[in-house]
Structure formats: C-alpha cells, structure tokens
Amino acid sequence: MQLIIDVGNTRVKAAVFDNTHLEELVYIDRNDFIAQIGIFAGKYPVTKAIISSVGRLSEKQRRSVQLRFPTILLTHETKVPFINMYKTPETLGVDRIGLMAAFAKAYPQTSGLVIDVGSCITYDYLDEKARYWGGAIAPGIRLRYEAMHNYTANLPLLSGVQEQELVGNTTESAMFSGVINGVLAEIDGVISRYKEEFQVQTVVITGGDGEFLSKRLKNSIFALSNFLLEGLNYILINSND
C-alpha cells in the first residue's frame, strides 16, 4: 500500500491507496503531524510514501515519514508521465505537477485544462502529446474575501461559498456576488479561450470549492475531488525506488 501526503497552504491531506484504489483519506493537523500521521499510517501495511508540499513541513516532520518508509519528496526532477515544457521548472508548484500527472494518466492522448480551486485558482494546460506548457495563477475565493476585508476600512470578512444572485442588495450579498459570480465568469472565460485557441478537449476542476463551482459553470467539465491524490499515487507507483 502507498501513503500519499499532500501538504497544502491551509491543510494537510493524507491518503492510503491499495494500488489504485483509495482506501482512506484524512485531514492532519500540521501542529500534531508526527503523531497523527503515525497513527494513520500504522493502520495499513504501507510499503512506500510520497510527500507533495506547497505548504511547510519541518525537517523533523518529513523525517518521521522518511525513517518509516521509502519516501519520494516530489520536486520538478521527479519522474512524471508528461514532458515539462515550463521555462522555469524549478519554480513550478508540486501540486501542479501532481495534477498534470493525474491528467496524463486519466486522459492519455488528450489535450486538457486542469483547474484547481484552492487558496489560489490555478489553470494548467497539457496537450495531446502529454506536453505541459503552463497556465495561470489567480487569487482563490478565500484570498478575495481577505483582500476586500484587509484593504478597505469597512468591508466585513466573509467565508464559505453560497448561491448568489447577480444583484446583491446588502453589503455582504454584494460582496458574495462579486466574488462568486466573478470567479464563475473568470473560469468560464478561461475555459472558452483555451477551447478556442488550443482546441482543449477535456476540462477537469478540482480543489476545495471545485464541486460547488462545477455545477454553476456554463462549460461542460469533470469535477474530481481527489484528482491530485490520484496523480501523486500514480507518480509513486511508477517510481524506480
């Protein structure tokens, strides 16, 4: 079995796969990482692990995994099932690498756009020859709430996602409308441009708010909540360790 650890900007996900089958997914408290990951991994006969970290784990936390299992620390130099055409591969986020691996596995010989809705909204493009070209990074929903609150005198700090009419008739509803409807318009616009300019065949949306947004987009897309974990698992299974 494989242990997958995804360290994001706001939370840590840990999952165990039996080959390609997801057995269990949990959220780990970063401050109690060593104890919690030990308990979780101890429930299964794990043989190897991978750590993808865009957030921060201490050396001690990483070593707690490395000392128990053969472990891959995902970087731009890790073997992946696509050709990386990014001009600065050393700056490419490992979460984006994992997502491209997932797409290359799930949709071979298919051009695609993967949209990850988290702290930031990322757009990543892979062509039908499994060449990764890059994409775009934009503020996520939570960052937009925080920006309005932090850089104005009177706007409240909002949270969450909810259905919102175009015309907000209170300050809060107007803010929700601006953020939620703005993000929907942005994503739909980006998808349309990729389809027009690059003839993208398949679009996948993932991340914390992906399912909510997918039901409200005009474009036809696939909402896959565990797409990154599946990509990391694929990289681990096909590693040469």
Residue 56 banded pLDDT, cuts 50, 70, 90: confident
Between vectors from CA 149 to CA 31 and to CA 143, what angle results, nearest 5°?
A: 55
Residue 36 banded pLDDT, cuts 50, 70, 90: very high
**CATH classification code of 2-73:** 3.30.420.40
| Strand ranges inside 85-228, DSSP E | 112-117, 120-126, 131-139, 202-206, 222-223
Active site residues: 95
Q: Who has greater pLDDT, 56 or 130?
A: 130
pLDDT at 33 over 70: yes
What's the CA gap between 124 and 136, in Å, rounded?
Answer: 7
Each residue's pLDDT tens digit, 209-236: 888 899 899 888 899 989 999 999 999 9
Position 63, amino acid: R
Average pLDDT, the chain: 93
pLDDT at 9 over 80: no
Span 95-118, mean pLDDT? Answer: 96
Q: Do the strands 2-7 and 48-53 form a parallel or antiparallel pair, or are they unpaired? A: parallel
pLDDT at 57 over 90: no
Q: What is the location of CATH 3.30.420.40 in the chain?
A: 2-73, 83-232
pLDDT at 55: 73
Inter-axis angle of helices 141-150 and 182-198, nearest 10: 130
pLDDT at 11 over 90: no
Span 136-148, mean pLDDT? Answer: 96
Span 51-65, mean pLDDT? Answer: 89
Sheet containing 12-18: order of strands = 21-28, 12-18, 2-7, 48-53, 71-73
Instruction: Please give the structure tokens belonging to residue 219.
Output: 């474009």
pLDDT at 54: 80
102 in Cβ contact with 193 (< 8 Å) = no
pLDDT at 241: 58
Each residue's pLDDT tens digit, 71-94: 999 999 999 999 999 999 999 999
pLDDT at 109 over 70: yes
Lowest mean pLDDT among 53-57, 105-109, 127-131, 201-205: 53-57
CATH class, 83-232 region: alpha beta
Percent of residues, the chain, with pLDDT higher than 90: 83
pLDDT at 191 over 70: yes
